[in-house]
Structure 1
């Protein structure tokens, strides 16, 4: 499954990248994030791996992030893996004005196992909706300082 989401953030690209590139900020825009820890490599750099723990309702999820490309301020690409799911995200950041940044995220999901393939088949819109929600939550945090922890 492939899709692209995008959002315009009313901040200069350098400020968007600074906020996005700070792992401590993830808790403010990734709802459900409980904890993270670096598994290998230099944090945030190409080749590094990080384990991320989420709690979504009663469900717990562990993702392994592997950074593929770190070419700030233009691009950041990473994979996210969990049981039955491989997710590739290619993120691009474009200056659209003096104080505006367009964040474009090209997402590709690959599923293994019957259950995950059925979820993808039955609810493909749910994946895109979640991706866009993270972008909206980041925009609210970056522009207004609003944290998902407050809701």
Structure 2
């Protein structure tokens, strides 16, 4: 199951990277995030791992994130593993500009690709409720955009 998403954020790429990489900000744009624990001494670098606990529609899920590529500000790729699910997440960022009322605004275009692989009972869940997996990545992106542009946080929701 593959999904592609794109969102444009009205902020420059350097600012977006500051927010994206600061794990203290995760709670502001990853709705349902209960906690995270760094499993390696390096944080946010290629090869680093962290355990995430997220409340979802089907209960609390614990997963391990591993960063497998990092070439920021342009590319960031990670895997997320939990029982029966492997999500390979690829994120590309590029800066663009828009002009309005004689004013130029720097923007960041975020392209994301999620590839899900399922085993065991999760195959049945994915077939019965594919939107559970499809919608979460895009919702995180929309929530990140709101946090970056307006300071709107999903923490506590």
TM tier relative to shorter chain: over 0.9
Q: Is the 8 A contact 1:3 1:128 kept in 2?
A: yes
Structure ID, larger Rg: 2
* Residue in 1 that maps onto 2:129: 123
Structure 2 residue ranges without an equivalent (≥5): 98-104
Tell me, in whole angstroms, the C-alpha distance in 2 between the residues paired with 1:122 and 1:86. 17
User: What runs of 5+ residues in structure 1 fail to find an aligned partner?
Assistant: none
Say if 1:41 and 1:47, in contact at 8 Å, map to a contact too.
no
What is the RMSD computed on CA atoms of the aligned residues? 1.4
Poorly superposed stretches of 4+, deviation over 3 Å: none
In the aligned structure 1, how far is the partner of 2:5 from the partner of 2:108? Answer: 14
Q: Does the 8 A contact of 1:85 with 1:110 survive in 2?
A: yes
Pair 1:128–1:28, CA change in 2 (3 A)? same
Task: Tell me what 1:133 maps to.
Answer: 139
Q: How many residues align?
A: 150
Q: Residue 22 of structure 1 corresponds to which residue in structure 2?
A: 22
**Length-normalised TM-score, structure 2:** 0.90
